[in-house]
Amino acid sequence: MLEGGRISEAELVSMMLYTTLGTAFFFLPSVVAGYAGRDAWMTPLTAMSGGLLVALLTGCLASRFPGFNFFDWTEIVLGKAGGKILQFFYVLWFFHIVTILVNEFDYFVKIAFMPVTPSLVFTLLLLALTGAAVCGGVEMIGRLAVIYISVSITIATGLTFMAAGLYDVGNLTPVLERGIAPVLAGTLPPVGWATEIFLGAMLFPFLKRPEKGGLVLFRAELWITFFLLVDTLSVTMAFGEETARLTLPVYSLAREINLLGFFQHLESLVLIMWYAGVFVKVAVWEYVTVLGTAQWLNLGSYRPLVLPGTLLLAVLTNYDMPDLAILTHFLASVFHYYLLLFTVVVPGILVLVSLVRKRKDVPRRSG
C-alpha cells in the first residue's frame, strides 16, 4: 500500500455516509420532487438497490482478491496494460467529480449566506483544508468523519423535530396518485448518489479485514437510505409539491422553523452540516484521486501529488459549471448516468470477466 494507515469499519461507514449524504441530503428532495411530486419520499427506498448492487459487486471482488483495492483489481483481472488504461479513465473521473463537488459547495454558500463573496474564496478555503486532511492520511479522514457525523446527526435530528409544526401529513396523499412511473423516474438521481459508496472499494486494504469490505458498504447503504428517507419525508410534509421549486429545500425548512418564538432562523445550523458534509466528502474523493493517480503512475507515495493535485482542482473548478442552473440541470438529468457507468457498469464487467477467466485468487497483500 502507498501508506500504512488503518481505519475501522465504523470509520469507513462514516466516510461513506458523508460520501453520499454530504450533498444528496441537501439537493435530493427537490431533485426527486420534480419527478415524483408528493411521492418523492419513496425514491430513497427504491434507490437503495443501486448502493446494494455496488456493495455486492465490490464485495465479490474483495472476497476473491482480499487486501487489494479497485485499481489493483483492474490489473489482476484485465492484465497490466488493460488495467492501466482503465485506471487512467478513473483518474480523470475522480478529478471531474471533485470539481463538481466544490462547485456545489461554492454555489450553496454563495446563494444562501455570502452572495457578494467571490467563489474563488470558498474554493481555495475548502481545498486548502481538504488538502491538509488528505496529507494527514486515511486515518485522519476516518476519525474526522466519525466526529463530524455525530455532530451532523445531532443537528439534523434537532431540526427535524423542531420543524414538526410545519408538517402536514396531507402533503403525502394521495399516495401514488399518478402511479408508480413517476417514482421510478425519480429513482434515477438517488440511485446515482447511492452508488458513490463505490469509493469504499479504494479503501478496503486499510480495513483490518479487507475481505469484509462489501458487508461494510452494505451497512453504510442501509444507513444512507434511512437518513435520505427521513430527509425527503420531512421536506415533503413541510412543503408538499412546492418542494420541486426549492433550490435548497433543507435550508428553506430551517428558515421556516419558529419554535416557541425563540428557536428560529436556524440556517446557520444547516451551514454547519453542509460544511462538515462537503468537507469530508471532498476529502474522501480527493484522497482517492491522488491515491489512484499515484497507483496509476507506480509512485511510492501519494503525498507528493497532494499540492499539485489541489492546485489543479482549484483551476478546474467552475470551468464546466459556470452557473447554478447548469449545475442543477446536470445533477438532475445527467449525473446519475455518469456515476452508474463508473460505479456499477465497469465493476460489473470486471466481476463477469474474473468469473469467465476463472483467474485464481491472488495472495493477500502484506502490510
Is residue 18 very low, low, confident or very high in pLDDT (cuts 50, 70, 90)? very high
Q: What pLDDT is stored for residue 352 in this prediction?
A: 93
Q: What pLDDT is stored for residue 294 in this prediction?
A: 95
The one-letter code for the residue type at 322 is: P
SS (H, E, C) the chain: CCCCCCCCHHHHHHHHHHHHHHHHHHHHHHHHHHHHHHHHHHHHHHHHHHHHHHHHHHHHHHHHCCCCCHHHHHHHHHHHHHHHHHHHHHHHHHHHHHHHHHHHHHHHHHHHCCCCCCHHHHHHHHHHHHHHHHHHCHHHHHHHHHHHHHHHHHHHHHHHHHCHHHCCHHHHCCCCCCCCHHHHHHHHHHHHHHHHHHHHHHCHHHCCCHHHHHHHHHHHHHHHHHHHHHHHHHHHHHHHHHHHHCCCHHHHHHHHCEECCCEECCHHHHHHHHHHHHHHHHHHHHHHHHHHHHHHCCCCCCHHHHHHHHHHHHHHCCCCCCCHHHHHHHHHHCHHHHHHHHHHHHHHHHHHHHHHHCCCCCCCCCC
Residue 175 lies in a domain: yes
What CA–CA distance (Å, rounded) separates 19 from 242?
27
pLDDT at 358 over 60: yes
Q: What is the CATH classification number for the domain harbouring 307?
A: 1.20.1740.10
Contacts of 349 (CB under 8 A, 6+ apart): none
Is residue 365 very low, low, confident or very high in pLDDT (cuts 50, 70, 90)? low
The mean pLDDT of 212-224, rounded to a whole number, is 94
The mean pLDDT of 106-116, rounded to a whole number, is 74
What CA–CA distance (Å, rounded) separates 32 from 40?
6
Q: What pLDDT is stored for residue 82 in this prediction?
A: 93
Residue 362 lies in a domain: no
The structural domain count of the chain equals 1
CA-based torsion, 279, 280, 282, 288: positive or negative: positive
Long-range contacts of residues 292-299, Cβ cutoff 8 Å, at least 24 apart: 292/71, 292/87, 292/90, 292/91, 292/94, 292/202, 293/91, 293/94, 294/2, 295/2, 295/69, 295/71, 295/72, 295/87, 296/71, 296/84, 296/87, 296/88, 296/91, 299/2
Is residue 302 very low, low, confident or very high in pLDDT (cuts 50, 70, 90)? very high
Residue 351 lies in a domain: no
The mean pLDDT of 241-270, rounded to a whole number, is 81
Where in the sequence is the domain holding 208, given as residue range(s)? Answer: 9-342
pLDDT in tens, 188-202: 888 888 899 999 999
Is residue 340 very low, low, confident or very high in pLDDT (cuts 50, 70, 90)? very high
Residue 355 lies in a domain: no
Is residue 321 very low, low, confident or very high in pLDDT (cuts 50, 70, 90)? low
pLDDT at 359 over 60: no
Residue 94 lies in a domain: yes
Is residue 283 very low, low, confident or very high in pLDDT (cuts 50, 70, 90)? very high
The label of the residue with cell 489541489 reads 310
Residue 140 lies in a domain: yes
The one-letter code for the residue type at 5 is: G
Is residue 366 very low, low, confident or very high in pLDDT (cuts 50, 70, 90)? very low
pLDDT at 273 over 90: no
The label of the residue with cell 483489481 reads 73
Is residue 367 very low, low, confident or very high in pLDDT (cuts 50, 70, 90)? very low
Q: What is the pTM of this model?
A: 0.90
- Crossing angle of helices 70-112 and 306-316, in 10° steps, is 50
Residue 361 lies in a domain: no
pLDDT in tens, 29-63: 888 888 888 898 999 999 999 999 999 999 999 98
Largest CA distance in the chain: 67
CB 367 within 8 A of CB 90: no
What CA–CA distance (Å, rounded) separates 17 from 277?
9
HSE (side-chain half, CA atoms, 13 Å) at 281: 27
